[in-house]
Structure 1
Amino acid sequence: MKVFVTGATGFIGTALVQELTKAGHRVLGLARSAASIEKLKAAGAEVQQGDLEDLDSLRAGAAAADGVIHAGFVHDFTRFAEVCQIDKVAIETMGSVLAGSNRPFIVTSGTAMVNQGIMATEDMANEHDATLSPRVSESSLDPFTSQGVRTAVVRLAPSVHGEGDHRGFIPTMINIARQKGVVAYVGEGLNRWNAVHRLDAVHLYRLALEKGETGMKYHAVGDEGITLKAISEVIGRQLNLPVRSITPEEAPAHFGWFGMMASLDCPASSKLTQKRLNWKTVHPTLSDDLANGIYF
């Protein structure tokens, strides 16, 4: 299968290109810079020049492929509403090309906002508060399910961890701790994140592409719930910094834009995903990666 991949040179996308290529698929990767283009060529992929705001490049990539995996996102949380709109338009643009073709279209979403404080499952609708998170990847994809597109969603854990993770939420926590001289968590720190190793995540993308059922949501989740206090304590030990609780009122000044993420309680399960696609996590847990020092 020839697969058009957005985000093909990012932390997840690089591993995804390798996963697809090893399985015998041909990859057409979206790339803008000269460095990204060379990176894709070195990985044995074809190149579609452009970016998520270049709609003609998205149309061309989708038209040339047997399936699409939309793993790209503009990770600028200082203008989150704007980049969520870019994501929405990109999904609608590629979906319109695929309409009526029965080709697979895999879109990326997240588990973090599905059901605050309660174990999120794949069958739960992602009815999050748009004032907290304006990302609408799933609802942007949904209309194409009835338009002859084999749609599926991969909901990523808030922490997709592993070697080479320099821009995710764990590096963000570490950088803030270094700047502030203290590792902080909010309140009792019992709010939970779920997590997944990036190599397990990209394997799930491939299974969703090859075997996914139309309209399904799949959870890329290894650790169902690890507390922010536990994460903070490991970071404190690794950096030799004090660890302390701060109040919700102090969180915005301490964390900046990251304050919302530091306060989220978002446990999630992948049991249905494991059953439906025979997917298993085999790579290190977040606790393993933190303890083994790959972030330090």
Structure 2
Amino acid sequence: MRVFVTGSTGFVGSAVVRELLGAGHSVLGLARTDKGVEQLKAQGAEALFGTIEDLEVLKRGASESDAVIHLAFIHNFADFAGCCAIDREAITAMGSALVEAGGDRALVITSGTMMLAQGKLGTEDDAADISNPMAAARGASEKVCLDFAKHGVRASVVRLPPVTHGPGGNSGFMGPFVSVALEKGVSAYVGDGQSHWCAGHRDDAAKLYRLAIEKAEPGSIFHAVGEESVTIKDIATEVGKHMDIPVVRISTEEVPEHFGWFQFGVMADNTASSAKTKEVLGWNPTGPTVLKDVPVVIEFIKSHRSQF
């Protein structure tokens, strides 16, 4: 297949490009900088210059491809609703182009398990928790995508866990968590530390995106979750050990001062299953666990501290 990939030079996207090329597919990657264009060419992919706000560029990329994998997202939490609106417009543009092109074409977009209700094990059959404004805003993108299944497109959604980890990136929630530990000189967990994050390795996520364009039935939702539940206390303990700093317990009242803008992440209790994903697609995650990857996350954050 010829696959158009947005977010193709990002942390997960670059792994997706590598996975696709390794499986014999050709890749057209969206790039918004000259550096990104060169990165794609070095990997053996073609590049299309533009951003996810360039709707005509997106339509062109989709119309020239057999499948679209949409990973790009503007992470501006000051205007999250606006970023989600841009996301929906991009999905609509690419999906419409695939419908117009006709034939057996696939559209796979990215969402997150954080869209699901907190405090219980989420499954692929669960919808976004619309009582949460952030989840409602991002979850609407899932509906826009899946509606294209009614028009002959093999439309599906991949939900990434909040800790999608691996070398060379901030690894989702792990990045700000480690950054706070570096700044404060302690690795902190809240209360009894028994809140949870689900996790998955980025290379396993890349395999899932490939399987989705190859095999997904229209209207499917998949979870790129290798570990259903890792306690934040276990993560804090491992971070403290590798950074040689104290591991401390803080109260809920201390969270805003200690974690700042990341308080929403450290207070999250997000667990999710990928049982259906594994059964339907034969996906078998084999990457390192998040606790095994703590040293590579620390190494990355230490060398990129100005970004956090």
Q: Same fold (TM over 0.5)?
A: yes
Secondary structure of 2:121's partner? coil
Superposition map of 1:208-287 within 5 A? 208-287=212-291
- The answer to whether the 8 A contact 1:8-1:16 is kept is yes
Superposition map of 1:174-185 within 5 A? 174-185=178-189
- The answer to whether the 8 A contact 1:78-1:257 is kept is no
- The answer to whether the 8 A contact 1:113-1:266 is kept is no
Superposition map of 1:122-161 within 5 A? 122-133=124-135, 134-135=137-138, 136-161=140-165
Distance in 1 (alpha carbons) for counterparts of 2:149 and 2:158: 15
Superposition map of 1:1-296 within 5 A? 1-99=1-99, 101=102, 102-133=104-135, 134-135=137-138, 136-166=140-170, 168-290=172-294, 292-293=295-296, 295-296=298-299
Cα 1:79–1:236, aligned 2, differ >3 Å: closer, same or farther?
farther
Gaps of 5+ in 1: none
- The answer to whether the 8 A contact 2:80-2:134 is kept is no
Runs of 4+ residues deviating >6 angstroms: none
Distance in 1 (alpha carbons) for counterparts of 2:252 and 2:227: 25
Shift of 1:249: 3.1
Cα root mean square deviation, aligned: 1.6
Distance in 2 (alpha carbons) for counterparts of 1:137 and 1:295: 32
Cα 1:272–1:69, aligned 2, differ >3 Å: closer, same or farther?
same
Gaps of 5+ in 2: 300-308
- How many residues align structurally? 295
Cα 1:80–1:247, aligned 2, differ >3 Å: closer, same or farther?
farther
- State the identity as a percent: 47
Aligned AA (1:31): A
- The answer to whether the 8 A contact 2:165-2:171 is kept is no
Structure showing the higher helix proportion among its residues? 2
Task: Give TM-score, length-normalised by structure 2.
Answer: 0.91
Map Cα deviations across residues 202-232 of structure 1 (whole Å, 9 max, x no partner).
0010001000011010110111100111111
